[in-house]
Amino acid sequence: MRYLKTIIRFVVVMGAVLALSRSCKSEYDALLNSSDVDQKYSAAFDLFNHGKYNKAARLFESLAIQTNGTSKDDTVQFYWGMSNYRFKDYYTAETNFAKFLMNFPRSPFADEAYFLRIDCLYRSTYRSELDQKPTYNAIAVISQYLAESPNSTHAATCKRMLKELNDRLDQKAYESAKLYYKMEDYRASRVAFRNVLKDDADNIYREDILYYIAKSSYKFAQLSVEAKQKERYLTFVDDYYNFIGELPDSSYRKELDVLYKRAQKALGRYTGSEEDLEAKEKDFEKERKKLLKQSESGE
């Protein structure tokens, strides 16, 4: 008997919940289809303020048709975008804000809409190893915004975004070129790294790129047939001098110094002893292992 009463009580409670749910649903659906703009407008903001952004977005979307050309027009369209933005539907929100800026360039909401559109584009970009078309798109819009509104309260944030996105493109270019080096295609590796600097001399990986240019030319010469080694070691020597001329204190310097002496020996120009050269190689290898150990231990 007690079990039966519990079941009945549960059924009654669930029935009430379902009835309330249907009531709420039908009330919201009625609002969506309502022609009472003021009621709808008030309800949309109530939903927005209570964090029910998806429902608010649908109401604002419905209102956008009814308030078109009225004093509420820009407010409704802005909060339609805001609702989608808060709901984390950045693709739709970006479309909302782009349309808003086209229709209401002088609205009090315009600067905020511009920044939020940028934020949507920024959030829609991908990691460096993936397609970077969205990154180029975001960079173009951010650059335009900073040119038009250099004193905006959002300028500092936009500059941070711009740097991060440009750094991501630098990483993409660097890693793409490095693939040739990993595949041991040293001729293609050198060409790819040189092209990276040709396209962007200020790439944040410039030191590493110059190092791999030199390493690629050395390894290419080393693996070449004897008849072509002299010419290719001379190319390495040029790359070596370019590197030390720009970065004399680089952590890569000791390794490249050893390779330079090896190249000089291959060219018949090295005047030191083999023992001295081997000692330098051992010192470099010992230091390299020490640095690697420190890196792995987080020191």
Contact at 8 Å (CB) between 150 and 184?
no
Task: Write out pLDDT tens, residues 59-115.
Answer: 999 999 999 999 999 999 999 999 999 999 999 999 999 999 999 999 999 999 999
Read off the pLDDT of each residue in 284-294 and give the average, rounded to a whole number.
57
Task: Please tell me whether the overall predicted TM-score, pTM, comes out greater than 0.85 for this model.
Answer: no
The residue with greater pLDDT, 63 or 294, is: 63
Q: Which residues of 257-280 are buried (b: 16+ CB within 10 A; e: fewer)?
A: ebbbbbbbebeeebeeeeeebeeb
The residue with greater pLDDT, 155 or 268, is: 155
Percent of the chain with pLDDT over 70: 82
Rounded to the nearest integer, the mean pLDDT of the chain is: 88
Angle separating helix axes 206-222 and 155-182, nearest 10 degrees: 10
Give every CB contact of residue 100 below 8 A, 6+ residues apart in sequence. Answer: 74, 77, 78, 81, 107, 109, 110, 113
Domain boundaries 41-169, corresponding CATH code: 1.25.40.10
Band (pLDDT 50/70/90 cuts) for residue 23 is very low
On the question of a common fold for 41-169 and 185-297, the answer reads: yes
Contact at 8 Å (CB) between 190 and 220?
yes
Q: Where are the domains of the chain?
A: 41-169, 185-297
Class of domain 185-297: mainly alpha
Task: Write out pLDDT tens, residues 170-181.
Answer: 999 999 999 999
Question: 75: closest CA among 88, 85, 60, 86?
Answer: 60
The tokens 């549960």 sit on which residue?
Answer: 10
Residue 230 has pLDDT above 80, yes or no: yes
